[in-house]
Chains A and B, each alone.
Chain A
Amino acid sequence: MKTLVLVEHDNTDMKDATLAVVTAASQLGEVHALVAGSGCASVGEQAAKVAGVSTVHVADDAALANQLAENVAPLVASLMESHDAFLAPATTTGKNVAPRVAALLDVMQISDILSVESEDTFTRPIYAGNAIATVKSSDAKKVITVRGTAFDKAAAEGGSASIEGVTGAGESGLSSFVSEEIAKSERPELTSAKIIVSGGRALGSSEKFEEVITPLADKLGAGIGASRAAVDAGYVPNDYQVGQTGKIVAPEVYIAIGISGAIQHLAGMKDSKTIVAINKDEDAPIFQVADIGLVADLFNAVPELTEKV
């Protein structure tokens, strides 16, 4: 099978999410990559170095600068004439573009796969990760989004793919980019952080969140996450949210502080290697999945922990 991987990037740097997709694609066959953007030649070069990629298609076009689905999807659909499968990371970019591609090709997408069982059979989570479905596709072309935490990352160096220019379909005229507000952060990106410190509603305010959670995260060099309740209450921006509808993470260590452990939150973090829970309610569901639990008032325990690590 010849696969086409959508490279996640910001026109300057390739994002890590791409590497796990390359691993999934290599289990299906020959891996090609697509860099769709504007002024994105450096991303093409980075993609060409990824181990296992044989060809990188670079579509460099002002219409693709913000990777709007209306402009990217027709380009992918045209490239699919010579590929058998399209794989995108299950990021907001991938989730926006891939179903549009699938409909243009008249195929069903397979969302958020956890494993490749064979050329046409995959596993994926349903019901907020409370069940794992094995699905077999009868479509000739496969359109797939890949859960990044479920696959090892391909080596970012060592490959030597050829780079080919391709032409996009241009402006669709259906949509245009207006503006972007990207949260600035020096911290490790949530989906690739080795340690995550995550706070919930029990923090009580954005000041307390900052005061209690941030120093511990700083000391551990950790990413900061949050439950939906903490985001809804305005303690942190919404891209901190871990869960069914936020980010799916699987760090080495996930420290859940003042998080009860609702099904929807667990869906986003229960594949973490070690889960630590600090909560004053000893019956909180989070303790059912925590490897290490401490029943204590977080306002005493967390500063003490920060001091002692």
Chain B
Amino acid sequence: MKILVPVKRVIDYNVKPRVKSDGSGVDLANVKMSMNPFDEISVEEAIRLKEAGKAEEIVAVSVGPQKAQETLRTALAMGADRAILVMTDEEVEPLGVAKILAKIVEEEAPKLVITGKQAIDDDSNQTGQMLAALLGWGQGTFANTVTVDGDSVDVKREIDGGLQTVKLSLPAVVTTDLRLNEPRYASLPNIMKAKKKPLDEKTPADYGVDISPRLTTTNVSEPPVRQAGEKVEDVDALVAKLKAVGAI
């Protein structure tokens, strides 16, 4: 089967984002960008399914600026077979991305779409579920373990309170949680080879879907700053402090 893996270029997870003073957004100029960590887990899972003989081809997709090419090259270097970049400088909301992905699914006819559970920039946690709804497919969100067996996939999901296993008939959408796997690093030879792998460039217009935003961000501000606390010398002083604030 074919697996489609959507990936997003986001601010690197180690960078502390700075809010612009005019409240228009977060300053992304000259900030290190990387593949969304959950998407690395998606790519890794797709590759493992291929290595296990459950999949033949992995197609990585990104909707974003020209520079999202780098993110796709990373996916190719990890082991994806080819890539599609849907190029746009506008910010596309999860609903718009899901609509574009749904069109790509129509063309590519994958049996499985594996996407991250959330992007660490907008923290929405929506795209996979929306895509499943648009396609009328089952969804296995927050996947901890994925087991493909013939025409179905068992997904063990991380839920509040524990784990839940669901069986989905294929085709289906799976969204990855942190503990699904440990993504591999791309080796230098594979990074070189990835430069020769096919990368198609498209635009949202090619898919003819309306991706105009439904939400307007009117302001972005710093979260309230906590009052600086104080350090205590020893456990007795800590106990006294805890009593003073009524904690114990």
Chain A interfacial positions (CB closer than 8 Å to B): 66, 68-70, 73, 91-93, 95-104, 106-112, 121, 125-139, 172-183, 191, 195, 220, 228, 231-232, 237-239, 244-245, 247, 252-253, 263-264, 270, 274-276, 278, 282, 287-296, 301, 304-305, 308-309
Q: Which of B26, B136, B142, B154 contacts A126 (CB 8 A)?
A: B26
A129 to B140, CA, bound (A): 26
* Segment from B52-60, B64-72, B126-134 that makes contact with A: B126-134
Interface of A is mostly: mixed
Q: Which 6 pairs show the lowest CB-CB distances between chains A and B?
A: A174-B138, A103-B133, A99-B129, A103-B130, A99-B126, A291-B229
Please give the number of chain B residues whose Cβ is less than 8 angstroms from any Cβ of chain A in the complex. 83
A99 in contact with B17 given A239-B162, A289-B226 (CB within 8 Å)? no
| Mask of B102-145 contacts with A, CB within 8 angstroms, 1/0 | 00000000000000011011111111111111101111111010
Q: Which of A110, A112, A180, A228 contacts B163 (CB 8 A)?
A: A180
Interface of B is mostly: mixed
User: Smallest distance from the beta carbon of A223 to chain B beta carbons, Å?
Assistant: 13
A96 in contact with B139 given A108-B93, A180-B162, A180-B164 (CB within 8 Å)? yes
B247 proximity list for chain A (CB < 8 A) = 195, 252-253, 274, 276
* Segment from B79-87, B183-191, B215-223 that makes contact with A: B215-223
User: Smallest distance from the beta carbon of A124 to chain B beta carbons, Å?
Assistant: 8
The reply to whether the CB of B205 lies closer than 8 angstroms to some CB of chain A is no
Pair A244/B98 contact, Cβ less than 8 Å: no
| Mask of B213-248 contacts with A, CB within 8 angstroms, 1/0 | 111111111110011111110111111011001011
A301 to B131, CA, bound (A): 50
Question: Chain A residue with minimal CB distance to B231?
Answer: A293
A96 in contact with B141 given A131-B220, A136-B216, A239-B161 (CB within 8 Å)? yes
A292 in contact with B161 given A100-B133, A103-B129, A108-B93 (CB within 8 Å)? no
29 inter-chain pairs at a CB distance below 8 angstroms, sorted by A residue, are A70-B139, A92-B158, A100-B139, A103-B95, A109-B126, A111-B125, A125-B223, A126-B26, A126-B123, A134-B217, A134-B218, A136-B218, A138-B216, A175-B139, A175-B168, A178-B165, A182-B161, A183-B161, A263-B13, A263-B16, A264-B13, A276-B238, A276-B247, A289-B226, A291-B245, A292-B242, A293-B231, A294-B231, A308-B239
User: Smallest distance from the beta carbon of B16 to chain A beta carbons, Å?
Assistant: 6
B138 proximity list for chain A (CB < 8 A) = 70, 172, 174-175
Q: Which of A136, A232, A264, A308 contacts B215 (CB 8 A)?
A: A136
B1 proximity list for chain A (CB < 8 A) = none
User: Smallest distance from the beta carbon of A282 to chain B beta carbons, Å?
Assistant: 8
B215 proximity list for chain A (CB < 8 A) = 108, 110, 135-138
Pair A131/B17 contact, Cβ less than 8 Å: yes
